[in-house]
Amino acid sequence: DQQVKQNSPSLSVQEGRISILNCDYTNSMFDYFLWYKKYPAEGPTFLISISSIKDKNEDGRFTVFLNKSAKHLSLHIVPSQPGDSAVYFCAARGRGGSQGNLIFGKGTKLSVKP
Amino acid sequence: GAVVSQHPSRVICKSGTSVKIECRSLDFQATTMFWYRQFPKQSLMLMATSNEGSKATYEQGVEKDKFLINHASLTLSTLTVTSAHPEDSSFYICSVPEGGTEAFFGQGTRLTVV
């Protein structure tokens, strides 16, 4: 059973608009959430993270929102750029879990059209 | 963050042969490294935790005799896929945890067994 779910396999957005990628999780013991960006044939690149004690973290064009009661987090990219086109993975770490031992969603492929 | 180099990026081998994949932490001494596998349209799945100077810890369902892991130094972990079969064809990625939360990934290795 998947503990981290990304229910949208793909998302298409126009350049300059907002991209919203969603992620749901089932385990309330997760204490840290991360978003990774992955280009084809490359390893994932860390993008942004959020601790379970926060509900928002912002870094430039990227903002992650966490709704613990709904066990839901989202990544907002604004404005979206063609270079943002990639697969985005949501990942979670269990409380007290081994460093870097992350549980990943299946990913959402974002396409930003010029 | 840590710079992680993985080699080779792509390998094609014949069924029954063995393939070695290297993961190097270039600027960070890693007592622990993680090996993941990603099948098409699936999430990254943790295979094993590589521990410097001791035996690796394998996730449930991963055959330790088939996927040999050696972590002989603080900067190098190797994954050897022994007696490879077509079903072992996948994208293998290593990661190095740093800072207690983030994990930095290698470029990945696309293994194709023919």
Q: Per-residue pLDDT for chain A (114 aa), expressed as one digit of tens each?
A: 678 999 999 999 999 999 999 999 998 888 899 999 998 878 888 899 999 999 999 999 999 999 999 999 999 999 999 999 999 999 998 765 555 568 889 999 999 999
pLDDT confidence of residue A96: 56
pLDDT confidence of residue A60: 97
pLDDT confidence of residue B108: 93
Count CB-CB contacts under 10 A for residue B100.
9
Q: Which residues pair with A46 in a beta bridge?
A: A36
Cis peptide before A82 (omega within 30 of 0): no
B99-113 pLDDT tens trace: 666 788 999 999 999
Q: Which residues pair with B62 in a beta bridge?
A: none
Nearest CB among A42, A45, A49 relative to B101 is that of: A49
Kind of pairing between the strands at B109-113 and B10-13: parallel
d(CA B75, CA A14): 42
CB under 8 Å to A20, separation ≥6 — which residues? A11, A74, A75, A76, A77
Residue B2 has pLDDT above 80, yes or no: no
CB distance A75 to A64 below 8 Å: yes
Count CB-CB contacts under 10 A for residue A31.
15
Residue contacts between A and B (CB atoms, under 8 Å): 70
Q: Hey, of A101, A106, A109, which one would you mutate to test binding to chain B, going by the most B CBs within 10 A of its CB? A: A101
Q: Which carries the bigger pLDDT value, residue B9 or residue B100?
A: B9
Q: What is the DSSP letter of B83?
A: S
CB distance A104 to A46 below 8 Å: no
Nearest CB among B10, B46, B94 relative to A101 is that of: B46
d(CA B57, CA A76): 36
pLDDT confidence of residue B9: 94
Residue B104 contacts A where some CB pair is shorter than 8 Å = yes
Burial status of residue B68 (CB atoms within 10 A of its CB: 0-12, 13-18, 19 or more):
middle
Q: Average pLDDT for residues B70-93, to the nearest whole number? A: 94
pLDDT confidence of residue A95: 62
B30-64 pLDDT tens trace: 888 999 998 887 888 889 999 888 899 998 899 99
pLDDT confidence of residue B101: 65
pLDDT confidence of residue B81: 97
Residue B43 contacts A where some CB pair is shorter than 8 Å = yes
Reduced to 3 states, what is the DSSP secondary structure of residue B89?
coil
Q: Kindly determine whether residue A46 and residue B49, on different chains, have CB atoms separated by under 8 Å.
A: no
